[in-house]
Amino acid sequence: MGRETEMEEEARENGGVDSVLPMASLISPSGNEVQLSELEGKIIGLYFAANWYPKCEAFTPALTAAYHRLKEHGAGFEVVFVSCDESRPSFERFHRAMPWPAVPFGDIGCKKRLSERFQVEGIPRLVVLAPDGEVIQPDAVELVHRYGDRAFPFTLARVAELEADEQRKFASQTLEKIFSINGKGYVNGSQQQVPISSLVGKTVGLYFSAHRCAPCIKFTAKLAAIYINLKGKAQDFEIIYIPMDKEEDGYLQSCSDMPWLALPYDDGASSGALARYFDVREIPMLVVVGPDGKTVTREGRNLVNLYFDMAFPFTDEQIRLLQEMEDEAAKGYPTSLRHTGHRHELSIVSDKSGGGPYICCECEEQGLGWAYQCIACGYEIHLRCGRDMEGGSAGGRD
């Protein structure tokens, strides 16, 4: 048995941080050595991530915010970055954006052993360890996304407590309670402040978006047309922009492009809290709150893409009605279709016969369930796009 292996076996037997990180030292973001003794007695989060992966770039700020808050409160918590980057410059660039130490990039053996020991098959991954080296949470990424620093110390008892508290909050949720987070009791209209109390009893969409976000720009245009259409029908519907912009200039530009209300800008404090409350992972996202103040759906974006203004008021009952209408309409379409834009025959499918969520290859809009699908290569289009295409020929229906 080699000397290094003997040291690792001895460290595992002794427990503590040495049992997990059998090395002399870590490295700080500035390149200085960090002694392992500084981690003794702390709960440790092993953060497996890479600079090249967007989900890691998105999660790192959330973990950083939780880390800083825990440090401010004197919590015994430390994070250790275990890089999955392929080059030293990528590692160093990503590490400089973090406030915690890392396993040295050159220590490939340690990184490999950690990945194998904790069965890391995907990133980002946050393995939380007790001071004795035992696993508290095999992956706390979801907990940090949902609860931030409140997830500490990440134990099963703490998670159960947070989930129970979350259920109580959602059960007693009202529109006014949702917006009590910013302590102002109003949102911004085009010319004046609008009290939250004046929106009670309406269906309200909370629109999480940002100015320099290509998917947001595309969806905002569609949502604006639907919003204006619904307002023209005198529907009790309102939208409030929840800014995910990093700078106020972006927020102001977004507001100028939107015909609805907006949460006042406060460097992201209120928006961040609302994003955590509704578990917002990506933007754009449209959360719909009903007239009673309870959450109707977090899938407002998908419903708007699928059903346009007919999705209003976004309730389960309305969506079931729309699906039944689609099922009935599908009976009038041929079972197969040929057209000049694709070399294979397209067959009609539903969510019960191979269909599912898809992006239409003709109009590039979202679809669900009914579609014309190429079994050979996965080409898929809306039924309506198949009907509207030039150069198509329909097959018969039994």
Whether 326 is covered by a domain: the verdict is no
Q: Do 9 and 145 share a domain, yes or no?
A: yes
Both 294 and 342 in one domain: the answer is no
- End of a domain among 273, 299, 320? 320
Task: Kindly tell me if the per-residue pLDDT of 394 is higher than 70.
Answer: no
For the entire predicted model, the pTM comes to: 0.69
Same domain, 51 and 96: yes
Q: What is the pLDDT of residue 14?
A: 52
Residues 110 and 259 in one domain: no
Q: What kind and span of H or E run contains 126? A: strand 125-129
Stronger pLDDT, 389 or 97, i.e. the higher one: 97
Write down the mean pLDDT value for the chain: 88
Asked if the structure places residue 140 within a domain, the reply is: yes
Is the pLDDT score of 69 beyond 70? yes
Domain check: are 21 and 149 in the same one?
yes
Domain total of the chain: 3
**Residues 70 and 204 reside in one and the same domain:** no
Q: pLDDT confidence of 339, banded at 50, 70, 90?
A: low
On whether both 144 and 16 belong to a single domain, the answer is: yes
pLDDT digits (tens, 9 = 90+) for 227-258: 999 999 878 999 999 999 888 999 999 999 89
Q: Is residue 373 part of a domain?
A: yes
345 and 315 inside one domain: no
Domain annotation covers residue 327: no
Q: Which of 165, 187, 209 is the last residue of a domain?
A: 165
| pLDDT attached to residue 2 | 46
Task: Give the torsion sign (CA, 110, 113, 118, 123).
Answer: positive
Average confidence (pLDDT) over 278-302? 93
DSSP state letter for 237? E
Alpha helix positions (H), 172-279: 175-179, 214-232, 248-256, 269-277
- What SS3 state is found at 340? coil
Q: Comparing 386 with 30, which gets the higher pLDDT?
A: 30
Domain boundary among 320, 343, 361: 320
Answer whether residue 170 is part of any domain.
no
Using CA atoms, how far apart are residues 370 and 123, in angstroms rounded to an integer?
A: 34
Share of the chain above pLDDT 90, in %: 61
Q: Look at residue 184 in the predicted model and tell me its pLDDT.
A: 78
Answer whether residue 203 shows pLDDT above 50: yes
What pLDDT, on the 0 to 100 scale, is given for residue 341? 67
Distance of CA 349 to the CA centre of its chain: 29
Higher pLDDT, 330 or 190: 330
Q: Is residue 43 part of a domain?
A: yes
Same domain, 19 and 155: yes
Structural domain containing residue 60: 1-165
Burial of 320-336, coded b for 16+ CB within 10 Å and e otherwise, reads: eeebeebeeeeeebbeb
Structural domain includes residue 15: yes
Looking at residue 6, what is its pLDDT? Answer: 47
Residue type for 40, please? E
Instruction: Identify the residue with better confidence: 28 or 13.
Output: 28
CATH code for the domain in which residue 273 is found: 3.40.30.10
Same domain, 192 and 292: yes
* More confidently predicted of 211 and 156: 156
Mean pLDDT of 134-157: 95
Instruction: Examine the domain organization and report whether 348 and 271 are in the same domain.
Output: no
**102 secondary structure, DSSP code:** B
Question: What are the pLDDT digits (tens) for 340-352?
Answer: 667 788 889 887 7
Q: Which of 107, 138, 112 is nearest to 26 (CA)?
A: 107
260 within domain boundaries: yes
Same domain for 161 and 278: no
Examine the pLDDT at 270 and tell me if it is beyond 60. yes
